[in-house]
Amino acid sequence: MAQSLPPLPLSFSQAIARQEGWYVEDTAVNRSQRNNNPGDVEFSKFTELHGSSGSDGRFAIFPDAQTGFDCLIALLQTPEYFHGTIHDAIARYAPSSENNTEEYVENVCEWMNETPQTLVLQVRL
């Protein structure tokens, strides 16, 4: 079921979720909604440690949306993301080999009212 879009500006995790289709209102439930995985975080030992019950073949499945958001926030707090810029974090999270990374950065920054060079540790996760 589609989730209601929170008011702007969004937190970093909410902006990622929006970019990943979490807030899309459609008659069909999309993958992130079906998996309770707002950020479409790939299944790994990390997601298992943060509550995932398995995968759909690539992406983690969580028992509920809050657990999915909590895992995404925990991921954003790891040194690989937390000590870099928003641009650096998104380039790692959504690499250009699979995404239009620059558009992703632009959208997330607009929804957060931040710049690509803002440090992740300075934003609301």
Closest CA to 119 of 93, 86, 91, 90: 86
CA–CA separation, 120 and 118 (whole Å):
6
The verdict on residue 5 lying in a domain is: no
Quote helix, strand, coil % in the chain, to nearest 5: 45, 5, 50
The verdict on residue 1 lying in a domain is: no
The pTM assigned to this predicted structure is 0.95
The verdict on residue 79 lying in a domain is: yes
What does pLDDT average to over the chain? 95
The verdict on residue 6 lying in a domain is: no
Q: What is the mean pLDDT of residues 75-80?
A: 97
pLDDT tens-place string over residues 41-52: 999 999 999 999
Predicted confidence at residue 4, as pLDDT, reads: 87
Total number of domains constituting the chain? 1
The helix/strand/coil state of 90 is: helix
The verdict on residue 52 lying in a domain is: yes
Predicted confidence at residue 18, as pLDDT, reads: 96
Residue-range definition of the domain harbouring residue 31: 12-122
Q: How confident is the model at residue 79 (pLDDT cuts 50, 70, 90)?
A: very high
Q: What is the mean pLDDT of residues 8-23?
A: 96
The verdict on residue 37 lying in a domain is: yes
The verdict on residue 112 lying in a domain is: yes
